[in-house]
Amino acid sequence: MKYYYILAFVCLWSIHMHAQDDLLDELEEEATPEMFESPAFKAMKIGNLQSTKVAAKGDFYLYVSHRFGTLEDGLSTFFGFDNANTKIQLVYGLFEGWQFGISRESLRKTYALHTKMKIKGQSESFPFNIVGYATANINTQVRKERFPFLLFEDRLSYASQLLISRRFNNNFSFELAPTYVRHNLTLEANQKHDQFAMGAGGRLKISKRMSINMDYVYNFSRADNTAFRNPFTVGVDIETGGHVFQLLFSNAQSTNEPGFISYAEGDWGDGDVFFGFNIVRVF
């Protein structure tokens, strides 16, 4: 029943978004034609893919990411409510343009550390935002009973990305994300340990506080006859004072980069899709 409470909480919280007195109204009233250049995205993630937004110095973020089980299971799991994956993430802006974070995801009982650093911002003299991102994940679900010679480093996986975005106008932003992923232990025998991928994502603002977001990652190193797919995610951002709600559908249940880039288990063509949400609170 805890998943019903979570969903009810999100819905009730969203109802009050128009009653909140926040800085968004002031920002939009004072905006000048040049201000659309930054930021390109309101949240640190487009959907699953990292965005070029970086926490400001001293800002503390709480991220709650929830992905229910596949909708394909229907009523047997109440459309995935019985098989959910939850990630709690804490992010802190230690320096201006440089953040650090830690998280724990229930899928494969994965702990992760990450850092994101702003390299260059969009301005009148430079057309793009450029940000570097890196993460290290520890899979604590792997057991020595299955892998007798398991070493600690076998539990580790990594990802690094160069995030390049541009806010073209007040309503539309787009991003490319060249990506490298490393798995010390793979889930498929013929899967490469080192993988290269290209991500792409965008944000289209449809109202004062809402936008439609999409992202997709093509994995160039995927094994032949693999059971996994390239991840595609579509969702809606709802902005409120100090919060961003992201409601989304994806064919990947994991929210960690090594997880969803390499192991997107769903198939949009078969209706094997996961509903989920991200709740973001900044302090």
Q: What is the predicted pLDDT for the residue at 30?
A: 40
What are the pLDDT digits (tens) for 218-249?
999 998 889 999 999 999 999 887 678 999 99
Q: What is the predicted pLDDT for the residue at 38?
A: 57
Residue 24 φ/ψ region, left for φ over 0, alpha for ψ in the -120 to 50 degree band, beta for the rest: alpha
More confident residue, 190 or 180: 180
Q: How far apart are CA 118 and CA 274, in angstroms?
A: 31
What are the pLDDT digits (tens) for 165-176?
999 999 999 999
Q: How confident is the model at residue 75 (pLDDT cuts 50, 70, 90)?
A: low
For the entire predicted model, the pTM comes to: 0.84
Q: How confident is the model at residue 78 (pLDDT cuts 50, 70, 90)?
A: low
The gap between the terminal CA atoms of the chain, to the nearest Å, is 29
Q: What is the predicted pLDDT for the residue at 77?
A: 61
Q: Is the pLDDT of residue 2 over 90?
A: no
Q: What is the predicted pLDDT for the residue at 81?
A: 61
The pairing of strands 243-250 and 274-282 is antiparallel
Q: How far apart are CA 68 and CA 273, in angstroms?
A: 9
What are the pLDDT digits (tens) for 6-35?
444 444 444 444 444 443 443 344 444 444
Q: What is the predicted pLDDT for the residue at 18?
A: 43
More confident residue, 33 or 158: 158
Q: What is the predicted pLDDT for the residue at 82?
A: 60
For the chain, the domain total comes to 1
The SS3 of residue 228 is: coil
The pairing of strands 232-240 and 85-95 is unpaired
Closest CA to 191 of 236, 155, 225, 241: 225
The SS3 of residue 32 is: coil
What are the pLDDT digits (tens) for 106-149?
988 999 999 999 999 999 999 999 999 999 999 999 877 777 78
| CATH number of 86's domain | 2.40.160.40
Residue-number span of the structural domain to which 193 is assigned? 2-282
If one counts every other C-beta atom within 10 angstroms of the C-beta of residue 77, the result is: 16
Q: What is the predicted pLDDT for the residue at 278?
A: 92
Q: What is the predicted pLDDT for the residue at 39?
A: 79
Q: How far apart are CA 59 and CA 96, in angstroms?
A: 10
Tokens of 220: 């160039």
Q: What is the predicted pLDDT for the residue at 150?
A: 87
Q: What is the predicted pLDDT for the residue at 275?
A: 92
Closest CA to 103 of 118, 117, 115, 119: 115
Contacts 24+ apart (CB under 8 A), 219-226: 219/181, 219/195, 219/261, 219/262, 220/195, 220/196, 221/192, 221/194, 221/195, 221/196, 221/197, 222/191, 222/195, 223/188, 223/190, 223/191, 223/192, 224/190, 225/190, 226/188, 226/190, 226/191
As a whole number, mean pLDDT of residues 176-191 equals 93
